[in-house]
Amino acid sequence: MLTPLGEPARRPHNACNQKKQLESFNPDSPISAMLSYRHAFHAGNHADVLKHVVLVESLRHLLRKATPLWYVDTHAGVGEYRLDPKPPAGQAEWLNGIARLWDEPVPPAALAPYLGLVRALNPDGKLRRYPGSPRLAAELLRAADRNLDKVWLYELQPSDFPLLEKSFRGCRNVRCTAADGFAAVRGLLPPAPRRGLVFIDPSYELQSDYRRLVEALEEALQRFETGCYLVWYPIVQRAEALELPARLLRLGSPSGPARWLRAELRVRAPPAGGYGLYGSGMFVINPPWTLPATLQDLLPWLARRLALDERASQSLEYQLP
Ligand SMILES: C[S@@+](CC[C@H](N)C(=O)[O-])C[C@H]1O[C@@H](n2cnc3c(N)ncnc32)[C@H](O)[C@@H]1O
């Protein structure tokens, strides 16, 4: 159970409620594995920094055009998180993530929009709360103040979904649904205004997430070829994870999507003989044309700032004909 801000709490979650929330879920894998993942323990870590910088930059770019836009978040989490000021040893992920950027006297200009949104959530200047992707997107859309934009949020975790819903109660253009995001995105596309950003950020707790991601994207591209798709993936020593970027580059046809960008950030050397996360990547289909230049400047800085050892590195590749 998490508190309204996604803070780990002691009370066990209500099993009846859990059953109700799960009625719409029928994947081909055991649900118990997915339920063990709580993003609150990882909020604000290096992976969140990378994915949220790319998300904020992409959404800001799309919002420059006056026509309505849909934002679809297939794996939404809670929305925002309370950062534990004294995390137990080994759980200090945000201290090696957003905390390393927070006090930077002269951060790169390209970081300002993202940092500004984190600062807005911490108006007293103390870093205590961290915005998840739904909060970042909703704030950008609210600031743009356009009536016809819509935010679609999907979250399957029975304890997290009510917190997500509560956090956006009363927001007219935000729809939260307790459903499988991989399946839901198919039904939603193409978006009514024919403009949309789809953010796909699975926890990859289930091995089937890798396959389901590729299948969902194949179908999404058939339905909405011109959409902007942002996919986060872990860099870990697992066969499915290592193969994923190559599979993404072949989406749709052997030659793959025409326009794509791939940004990776590794904060340390691969753990010897282990599966631990040592970096992550973002694969963007139909990226904003401004994204390569923004990341070209920012990624080397982030790799230095977030480095946990001398093997930290970054890479950026793209094809934008
Ligand atoms: C990495 S977290 C998402 C973090 C969030 N996107 C952010 O940036 O703040 C992944 C979330 O997906 C949820 N989840 C896992 N499988 C799902 C599925 N098939 N459909 C919807 N949500 C799922 C998990 O419970 C977890 O909250």
| CATH code assigned at 233 | 3.40.50.150
SS3 content of the chain, % helix, strand, coil (to 5): 40, 15, 45
**Exposure of 34 by Cβ count < 10 A (0-12 exposed, 13-18 middle, 19+ buried)?**
buried
- Whether residue 56 contacts residue 116, with contact meaning beta carbons closer than 8 Å, is answered with no
- Block means of pLDDT (10 residues each) for the chain, 321 residues, are 40 29 42 69 96 98 95 97 87 92 93 97 96 97 85 95 95 94 94 96 95 97 97 96 97 93 97 89 98 97 97 98 93
pLDDT at 275: 80
136 CA to middle of ligand 1, Å?
15
> What per-residue confidence (pLDDT) applies to 17?
31
- Does residue 7 sit within a domain? no
What is the per-residue pLDDT for 87? 84
pTM for the whole structure: 0.91
Residue 292 lies in a domain: yes
> How many folded domains does the chain comprise?
1
Query: From the candidates 73, 84, 180, 201, which is the catalytic residue?
Result: 201
Is 9 within a domain?
no
Which is nearest to 27 in space by CA: 283, 213, 221, 248? 213
174 and 46 Cβ atoms separated by less than 8 Å: no
Q: Whose CA is nearest to atom 17 of ligand 1?
A: 156
What's the 74 CA to ligand 1 centre distance in angstroms?
Answer: 7
Give 75 Cα–ligand 1 centroid separation in angstroms: 3
- Whose C-alpha lies nearest to ligand 1, atom 1? 203
How far, in Å, are 118, 206, 224 from residue 23 at the CA level? 35, 19, 28
Cα 133 to ligand 1 centre (Å): 10
d(C-alpha 249, C-alpha 230), whole Å: 13
- Counting Cβ atoms within 10 Å, is residue 147 exposed (0-12), middle (13-18) or buried (19+)? exposed
Active site residue 201: yes
Give the pLDDT of residue 273: 79
Give the pLDDT score at 35.
Answer: 64
Using DSSP, state whether 265 is helix, strand or coil: strand
CA-nearest of 254, 255, 205, 198 to 234 is 205
Q: Which helix (H) or strand (E) holds 6?
A: none
Q: Which pLDDT does position 31 carry in this prediction? A: 53
Q: Which atom of ligand 1 is nearest to the CA of 35?
A: 25
**197 CA to middle of ligand 1, Å?**
17
Task: Using the structure block, give the residue that is written with the tokens 């024919």.
Answer: 194
Rounded to 10 degrees, the C-alpha dihedral 268/270/300/101 comes to -40
Of the residues 156, 199, 231, which should be mutated to test ligand 1's pocket, given the most ligand atoms within 8 Å of the CB?
A: 156
Pairing of strands 279-285, 228-235: antiparallel
1, part of any domain: no
4 within some domain: no
Q: Report pLDDT for 146.
A: 81
Within 6 A (CB) of ligand 1 lie 34, 37, 39, 51, 75-77, 132-133, 154-157, 160, 180-182, 201-203
Collapsing DSSP states into helix, strand and coil, what is residue 149? coil
The residue segments making up the domain with residue 101 are 15-319
Q: Which atom of ligand 1 is nearest to the CA of 157?
A: 25
Atom of ligand 1 nearest to the CA of 55: 8
Taking a C-beta distance cutoff of 8 angstroms, is the pair 197, 165 a contact?
A: no
* Residue 253 pLDDT: 87
C-alpha 249: how far from chain center: 19
Residue 3 lies in a domain: no
**Is there a domain that residue 2 lies in?**
no
Q: What is the CA radius of gyration of the chain?
A: 18
- Would you say residue 8 lies in a domain? no
